[in-house]
Amino acid sequence: MGAIRVLVERDLRDAVGMGPEEMETIEAVYPLITAGEGSMPPIMRIDVPESNGEIDIKSAYLPGYPGIAVKVSAGFFDNPGKGLPSLGGLMMVFDAATGVPRSALFDNGYLTDLRTGLAGAVAARHLSRAESQTVGILGAGMQARMQLEAVKLVRPITKAIVWARREEQADQFAMEMSDMLEIDVYVARTREEAAAADLLITTTPSTEPLVTADMMHPGLHITAVGSDAETKQEIDVKAVGAADLFVCDSVAQSSRLGELRASLGEGFPRERAVELGAVITGAATGRIDDDQITICDLTGTGAQDTAIASLAVERCTVSDAGILIET
């Protein structure tokens, strides 16, 4: 049946990172999602209540891509007590022409972290003010790091202000990220301080709104990447309603798992939600002036997984990275 390339996290970190080609790879999938091209079934979820865990499976076929990624993400929330991270997972890539397994990517979630960060850069590129120099961040975990690094690809960021429920985590973040990115990173005492920036990125697993309408100022762009479940919400319904433009990666998914869920429930008209793919192609109008308030909700799609995994496997094949296993 051929050979399967087995890749581990270090192979994948060597192959793909926070770069412009990777960002364009992610950007290119949004118009396909919006056009309904390919096949992207709803997320499959297996609940494991005895272990306070869940397994989510995402996948998508995109015409013209050589591979189809199947991603399995595990979230087991008692793991920290066992000395293990809460989140993990892996991807597999199948040949889109024959269905033959081509590669197993034991990435410990790296590709998801990366493509989610890059998606934030795509949203900022199309929706934030071009001269945005300051970025506020809610949350100080892995995805907060990814988002800050990514937004620097597209905006002349000189300063970041981070807020986290646990202040010592924010302190750690500020220290690390100012070193790594050579920009000023401050700790915010309140969410309002973070929201005063040109651009606000929310990266928390919050189940109640952290951003309210009164925190928003003219010209602000908010990218919300935290909500990916029926129970989560970072942006208040009134804030969504008060924004001039509400964009999301997938209306279907945001309605179920993202910021649209609560808003639709309180009467926000579905037709006001615009997909990022439509903004990218120009089919929908994006930001039209520097005073508008824009929001982009990213729930994360299997299409992005297929895109980043295809790029990673292509590069690892060229460099002959990893181990080939005859099956």
Give DSSP secondary structure letters for 225-275: ----STT---B-HHHHHHSSEEEES-HHHHHHHSHHHHHHHTT--GGGEEE
Kindly tell me which residue out of 21, 44, 208, 270 binds a copy of itself, with binding defined by CB under 8 A.
44
Tokens for 304, please give them. 């992005």
Residues 144-203 that bind a copy of itself (CB under 8 A): none
The SS3 assignment for 90 reads strand
**Least CB distance from residue 308 to a copy of itself, whole Å?**
17
**Least CB distance from residue 285 to a copy of itself, whole Å?**
33
Kindly tell me which residue out of 94, 163, 173, 268 binds a copy of itself, with binding defined by CB under 8 A.
94
Task: State how far the Cα of 327 lies from the Cα of 325, in Å rounded to an integer.
Answer: 6
Residue pair 221/124 in contact by the 8 Å Cβ criterion: yes
Distances (CA, A) of 49 to 46, 55, 193: 9, 11, 38
The residue length of the chain stands at 327
Kindly tell me which residue out of 20, 21, 24, 48 binds a copy of itself, with binding defined by CB under 8 A.
48
Contact letters (x/-) for a copy of itself, 52-81, by CB under 8 A? -x-x-x-xxx-x----x-x-x-xxx--x--
Tokens for 224, please give them. 């919300």
Kindly tell me which residue out of 19, 24, 84, 167 binds a copy of itself, with binding defined by CB under 8 A.
84
* Residue 181 amino acid letter: L
Stretch touching a copy of itself by CB under 8 A, among 86-94, 125-133, 248-256, 279-287: 86-94
**Least CB distance from residue 268 to a copy of itself, whole Å?**
29
29 binds a copy of itself (CB under 8 A): no
Task: State how far the Cα of 137 lies from the Cα of 125, in Å rounded to an integer.
Answer: 17
Residues forming contacts to a copy of itself in the complex (CB under 8 A) are 1, 4, 6, 8-9, 39-42, 44-51, 53, 55, 57, 59-61, 63, 68, 70, 72, 74-76, 79, 82, 84-85, 88-90, 92, 94, 96-101, 104, 106, 108, 323, 325-327
